[in-house]
Structure 1
Amino acid sequence: MTKPFRVIDTGIRGCREQMAFDQALIAGHKAGTTPDTVRFLQFPPSVLVGRHQAISQELNLDACRVAGVGIGRRITGGGALYLDEGQFGWELVFHKSTLGLTNLGDLAREICEAAAAGLSRLGIDARYRPRNDIEVDGRKISGTGGFFDGDTIFYQGTVLVAMDGAKMASLLNIPAAKLAKRGQTSGAQRVVTMTELFDGNPPPISEVKAAILEGFAERLGISPVPGEILESEEAAARAIFDEEIGTDDFVYEIDDPSHPADVISARHTGAGGTIEAHLRLEGPRQDRIREIQFTGDFFVTPPRVIPDLEAALRGLAVDDAEAAVAEFFAAAGVGLLTAAPSDFALALKMAAENRP
């Protein structure tokens, strides 16, 4: 028997407003007032960093401000994005028992393959590429990410219908190494749009959304049903915007932690993404962790696990950190999308080795 999913569309809203609505849906679902839901959304020109990213490392903030684009922070991990009316977002909020998947990697594969199957109905060869992309001929048409929050799963993605590649490149600091491993030289070269695939005449966005819903229905065994946005969801989104996600404190809370003179940093790139460790040491031999911050485009579920890990490591001897990281993840029961506890421990170790 198929499982009903309410389908809603919040249209074009500011990027921080859309992120606040994400959190409102999660809170409502956990409270039992929001049903399993598919949401579509669009943005005015905006840049978004991932939940764990250092914002000034990922964005050309001066260029963003001159361009007048919205600047926000997602509640999911992953990398920085440029979005405008030429793209749209899709997301699912549902109970983990609905699809019977309890591993974030398996969840990403199933949802991405379903979205790819939907896009392929339009006549393109869309395919899932681990860990969280959907590509056509090796170029990304959709990036995705998500997490578990208790029994609630939140998973989201985008579809590139049209894009101003030059504008994207001017606003995002895309590491050359990230492009080089795919044989590319620019962020615009890495992505492909529906407009390009259809020789300047892409299907209407409404048809693309319908195709994705068909893919979800066929591959995930759900029944999408048009529905209404609840007033309680709108009210919760407004409160979350005002109190947290819409504030500069939230958006800029993770900036460039490597800037202070006493911070030592290192970057480790593994199968699960890039993890940077920013470390302050203390003690006569500078061998104890005073503070540690992890940033990067990795996915961890739920996102609050990273601040908890950082707190657990404070005051420990550097030599004890590797075992402490392993013990923390074993006890916390968190979900990692390809990244392993050893990746965090290695980034920390590399940073410690850079001490004077």
Structure 2
Amino acid sequence: MRNDEWRLLDLKLSSYAASTSLTSTLLKLKSEEKIPNTLGLFTFERPSACLFYYNDPEKELDLDFCRQKDIEIGRRDTGGSPYWADPGTLIIYFWFNRKQLPGFPETVAEAYRFLIGASAQAISERFGIPAVYRPLNDMEVLGKKVAGHTVTFLGDACRWGSGPQVLKPRMDLMSRALRVPPEKFADKEAKTVEARVTNFEELLGRVPSFEEVKQTYVSALERAMKIQFQREGYSPEEKQLVEEETARIFSEDWLMAMTERRKLGDPLSAEWARGEHALKVPQGPLIRAVVLMDGKIIRNIFLTGSVHCVPVQLVEEMEAGIRGLEAEEGVLRRTVEDFFRRPGVQVPNCSPENFVQAILTAAGNAWKRN
């Protein structure tokens, strides 16, 4: 396959949650240059709700409702907000070596702008609707979200994901399955999930075919990156590795890793005062800080939300660096800034000050309750 000919996978999977084993496996293989640059187009047989790395499932999903309605739950290995996908959703993934594309952005934030911008332009031209990029990682039409996105860097490999809603979603299920905190809407006109999202069927006033939406994305990426896609299948090695990864991504240890009980234990049995605060960064992530305070000392801390960061474990490492510190602005700022200054670290549309503010407010709430 020539350098300007990239592989295209077009698959129907059981659910978006089930696709997480594939997306993580292909990113690892691409970082090791064991697979060609690849575009994946995925549709699904059943609905699912997918957590991202720093989402607390007990706070951001109605787990009982999901079980009752047979809504499959998954968890991704990158930053973002919980995402709904059903048989009306098209999920697009793109695994490639970013160093092979002259001029491709070096930062996650600019990669979002480049890739979403190219897709929005193609959708506007093809369907006659005013699709635009909205920072950090959304595509909007007339102020409503029509697709969410992720970008992950692993070495020279980049994985880009897009989730356009082609047909009307099962809003009766989606609005119950996702527990969207009110802070999430702080920088948006819409204040509910129903008011925030839209879909191609609603925008066009007709039922679009998945094929025309797929072809629009394929054409947009071919034009933006000066490449061509060739339809191919899995290799036997890829198939085996994906099957092996599936057991891990559906394990209780992986799905529930970011619950407060697992991270902090039972705070009610501790002598320390608990405080919590959620902060929405304008055109950036939601940061939720939970702290256990022993006087002025942060004995334990748990940071969740929709933070996008490179490396993905950065926020967990930051937690470890903060435990045992005094909840004092200067101390916290110096500590968090040290993490942000590490070589290769990226936390798009988010600053050390945002984390410090969330942590200090949580500490203040703990003192008020003590």
TM-score (norm: length of structure 1): 0.92
Contact residue 114 and residue 220 of structure 1 kept, 8 A: no
- Report which stretch shifted further, 217-226 or 152-161: 217-226
Aligned to 1:251, which of 242, 255, 270?
Answer: 255
SS at 1:159's partner residue?
coil
- Give structure 1 stretches of 5+ with no counterpart: none
In structure 2, C-alpha distance between the alignment counterparts of 1:224 and 1:352, rounded to whole Å? 52
1:56 to partner: Cα distance: 1.5
Q: 1:194 aligns with which of 200, 207, 226?
A: 200
Question: Structure 2 CA distance, aligned partners of 1:246 and 1:334?
Answer: 29
Of 345, 356, 360, the match for 1:334: 345
Identical positions, percent: 26
> In structure 1, how many angstroms separate the alpha carbons of the residues matched to 2:314 and 2:192?
33
Counterparts in 2 of 1:269 and 1:186: CA distance versus 1, 3 Å: closer
Name the residue aligned to 2:59.
57
Q: Distance in 2 between matches of 1:180 and 1:27?
A: 36
Residues 202-217 of structure 1 aligned to structure 2 (within 5 Å):
202=208, 204-217=209-222
1:297 aligns with 2:306: yes
Q: Deviations over 1:246-302 (max 9, x none)?
A: 2121111112458723432222221322101111234xxx33332222100121122
Out of 237, 260, 271, the residue aligned to residue 267 of structure 2 is 260
**What amino acid maps onto 1:302 in structure 2?**
P
Q: CA deviation at 1:185?
A: 4.3
> The residue matched to 1:331 in structure 2 has which SS?
coil
Name the CA distance, whole Å, in 2 between partners of 1:16 and 1:274.
22
Q: C-alpha distance in 2, partners of 1:301/1:331?
A: 10
Report SS of the residue matched to 1:279.
strand
Aligned-pair Cα RMSD in Å: 2.0
Amino acid at match of 1:223: Q
Paired residues of 2:39 and 2:94 also in contact (CA < 8 A):
yes
Structure 2 unaligned residues grouped into runs of 5+: none
- Whether the 8 Å CA contact 2:151–2:159 is kept in 1: the answer is yes
Alpha-carbon distance between aligned partners in 2 of 1:68 and 1:188, rounded to the nearest angstrom:
21
| 1:355 corresponding residue in structure 2 | 366
Please say if residues 179 and 187 of structure 1, whose CA atoms lie closer than 8 Å, have aligned partners that are also in contact: no
1:332 positional shift: 4.6
1:314 maps to 2:318: no
Asked if structure 2 preserves the Cα contact closer than 8 Å seen for 1:176 and 1:185, the reply is: yes
Give the length in aligned residue pairs. Answer: 351
Q: 2:334: which partner in 1?
A: 323
Deviates more, 1:10-19 or 1:337-346: 10-19
Q: Does 1:140 align with 2:151?
A: no
Instruction: Name the CA shift for 1:224/1:118 in 2 (closer, same or farther; >3 Å).
Output: farther
Q: CA deviation at 1:30?
A: 1.5
